[in-house]
Structure 1
Amino acid sequence: MKKIVLLLLFPLMGFSQVTLDGVEMLFQQKQFKKAETQITNFLKEHPNHLKATELLGDAYGHQKKWDDAIVEYKKLVKTNPNIANYHYKYGGVLGMKALQNKLKALGIIGDIKNAFTKAAELDENHIDARWALVELYMQLPGIFGGSKNKSLKYANELEALSKVDGYLAKGYVYEYDNEPELAEKYYKMAIEEGGSLTCFNKLATFYENKKQPEKAISTIEQAQKKHQRNALHYQIGKVAAEYNIQLSKGEQCLQTYLKNYSAADGVPKAWAHYRLAQIHTLKNNKTQALKHINLAIAQLPKIKPFKTQKQKILNL
């Protein structure tokens, strides 16, 4: 009888052992659909498991399934209203839904503000929630509660937590408000305080947006001296190609990028070939331009700018 009972139980026990093991690895591998399936199966047996619910919301978010993510995070907010990160994630997916559908955005702006504000209130050290509020209050029209003063209030709170974040936030506020001198000042302060790649990138991008490519290249070169990242060679070549400046330096940097390329550099080699094609087009070197644009198209045949550039070259 015991053997019969055990034989009956083992299949049931095996069937019930759905776990969250491996979900983190699936996230790292960006296999979000597989993660969603595994978490959903786990929740069938553990419907009130908070971590699994949060992970399911995360899996939906990575797949841009905003409505589904909203449902999961809302469960967390209702069940545990004193957890700051639940409110932050809930506000985040509401914000993404608002960006996707501007008509519906009008009806959920209040919920977005409340979620981020609650997260900031619950956790006085929550940097991401304060960043979200800085950006939200700057981007909202005044009629819907947008306020530079409120953005600066949260930027000051960020500065109290992290000087680098505070300086970057203020740079963002002043850049958005078209006060370039103050924006430049705070981005430079962020570099002096922290000196991370993010700080250098913010200043370089600011210069590009302000049509100051020479300063952008100089900033990227400073970043390269400090951080020695191959990806920065591409960035220099990109600015050179787009603004028709320092073409020889741009060409050299792009060749270095291709020579030392690895997947960790982020930008596919095809784009470096495209930038080289741009540079050779500007130099009126049709043969080399065609060589590089053909390499770019061979690697990424569906990119429209590549085809447009090839036509420009053929018209030389």
Structure 2
Amino acid sequence: MKRILVFLLIPVSVFGQINTAEMDAYFKNKQYKKAENVLTDFIKSNPENLEALEYLGDAYGYQERWDNAISIYKKLVNFKPKEANYHYKYGGALGMKALQNKFKAIGFIGDIKKAFITAAELDKDHINVRWALVELYVQLPLVFGGSSNTALTYANELENLSKVDGYLAKGYVYEYDDEPELAEKYYKMAIKTGGSLVCFDKLTQFYENKNKPGHAIKNIEEAHEKHQRNAMHYQIGKVAAEYNVELDKGEKCLIIYLENYSSKDGVPKAWANYRLAQIHYHKKNKEQALKYINLALNELPKIEPFKTHKQKVLNM
């Protein structure tokens, strides 16, 4: 009996296998530091366990410790150079590092491109890396190799793999290229083909970016008809409050949001009260505006926009 008990208590690392269920639980619960500690100990005895190394790289990534993540993913690329996902993650970590320090970003561009292109060549069905290449070529300045045409090439590859991803990618490229009619066309095609919340959200954001709040509200209403999510009431109220349009509709939607609120809606009630305060500020209802901004501050007293708006209300 004692021998069996000892066997059960021997760490899993002795057998060279990582407990994937345990790791998945840590990641699901956002316990990235705890996962890191377990993995670091495990890897001391199993330095070439690729699964454990990948988990550790991911744990570093979620903690935004990009130097550590880069080091791990680079090891994985060296261990298994034909694995597309390792190149993709290596390029992604390099990209995030570049965003942290734009003065040094130029030095990363070549390695980022190489990693993503290698991943795309190794895996012809890898959707995420093609999205990464679309974003890379759109956002890079021309002098460093940015190219809308190249971005569209990868958007076409995405369309061959997934119509919805392809249409969204093309909408993104054309929006960035300041071709709003084409951007709107492809975002609408994505909605017609897929109809997911992501598709509707992309078109809503496009309309907001183009200062078309009426179009944004109409699109959110169409999304609500299809998906029936309480969070969309907040979105309508937000647009109404930010752009000073359709204030009565915005107020009604925010009240419905608060009445039906649950944690799965995502946006805290304080933000809905803040939007109501904005709406009543636009309506010049000082008493109501003060009531709602105080409710927002009671819940989240450290939010700067809330404090700034309260001062605006007091100065009415």
The alignment's TM-score, normalised by the length of structure 2, stands at 0.95
Q: What's the CA shift for 1:288?
A: 1.3
1:236-291 CA-to-partner distances (Å, cap 9, x unmatched) read 00000001111111011111111111111111111111000000111111111111
From 12, 21, 24, the equivalent of 1:17 is 12
Aligned AA (1:204): T
| 1:16/1:25 CA distance change after superposition, 3 Å | closer
- Quote the residue 1:211 is aligned against: 211
Q: What's the CA shift for 1:17?
A: 3.5
1:139-183 CA-to-partner distances (Å, cap 9, x unmatched) read 101111111110010000001111111110000000000000110
User: For the Cα contact (< 8 Å) 1:197–1:223, is it kept in 2?
Assistant: yes
2:22 corresponds to 1:27: no
2:96 corresponds to 1:96: yes
- What RMSD over aligned residues (CA atoms) do the two structures have, in Å? 1.6
For residues 264 and 51 of structure 1, the distance between their equivalents in structure 2, rounded to whole angstroms, comes to: 32
Aligned AA (1:69): A
Q: What's the CA shift for 1:117?
A: 0.5
- Quote the residue 1:80 is aligned against: 80
- Quote the residue 2:156 is aligned against: 156
2:180 corresponds to 1:185: no
The alignment's TM-score, normalised by the length of structure 1, stands at 0.95
2:202 corresponds to 1:202: yes
Q: What's the CA shift for 1:15?
A: 5.3
- Unmatched segments (≥5 aa) in structure 2: none
Aligned AA (2:12): Q
For residues 308 and 102 of structure 2, the distance between their equivalents in structure 1, rounded to whole angstroms, comes to: 32
For residues 136 and 310 of structure 2, the distance between their equivalents in structure 1, rounded to whole angstroms, comes to: 41
Q: SS at 2:105's partner residue?
A: helix
For residues 14 and 182 of structure 1, the distance between their equivalents in structure 2, rounded to whole angstroms, comes to: 62
Structure 1, 54-63 or 26-35: larger mean CA deviation: 26-35
2:54 corresponds to 1:54: yes
Q: SS at 1:284's partner residue?
A: coil
Structure 1, 19-28 or 54-63: larger mean CA deviation: 19-28
Structure 1, 13-22 or 170-179: larger mean CA deviation: 13-22
- Quote the residue 1:295 is aligned against: 295
Q: What's the CA shift for 1:131?
A: 0.5
For residues 71 and 34 of structure 1, the distance between their equivalents in structure 2, rounded to whole angstroms, comes to: 19
Q: SS at 1:104's partner residue?
A: coil
1:27-47 CA-to-partner distances (Å, cap 9, x unmatched) read 111111111111111112211
Q: How does 1:105-184 map to 2 (within 5 A)?
A: 105-184=105-184
For residues 241 and 216 of structure 1, the distance between their equivalents in structure 2, rounded to whole angstroms, comes to: 13
Q: Report the count of equivalent residues.
A: 310
For residues 123 and 260 of structure 2, the distance between their equivalents in structure 1, rounded to whole angstroms, comes to: 43
Runs of 4+ in 1 over 3 A off after TM superposition: 13-19
User: For the Cα contact (< 8 Å) 1:237–1:254, is it kept in 2?
Assistant: yes
Q: What's the CA shift for 1:10?
A: 4.1
User: For the Cα contact (< 8 Å) 1:16–1:45, is it kept in 2?
Assistant: no
Aligned AA (1:103): F
User: For the Cα contact (< 8 Å) 1:76–1:86, is it kept in 2?
Assistant: yes
For residues 22 and 10 of structure 2, the distance between their equivalents in structure 1, rounded to whole angstroms, comes to: 17
Q: SS at 1:175's partner residue?
A: helix
Aligned AA (1:66): W
Q: What's the CA shift for 1:16?
A: 3.7
For residues 83 and 306 of structure 2, the distance between their equivalents in structure 1, rounded to whole angstroms, comes to: 48
- Quote the residue 2:38 is aligned against: 38
Aligned AA (2:174): Y
1:185-211 CA-to-partner distances (Å, cap 9, x unmatched) read 110111111111011100011000000
Aligned AA (1:55): Y
Q: SS at 2:103's partner residue?
A: helix
For residues 231 and 10 of structure 1, the distance between their equivalents in structure 2, rounded to whole angstroms, comes to: 52
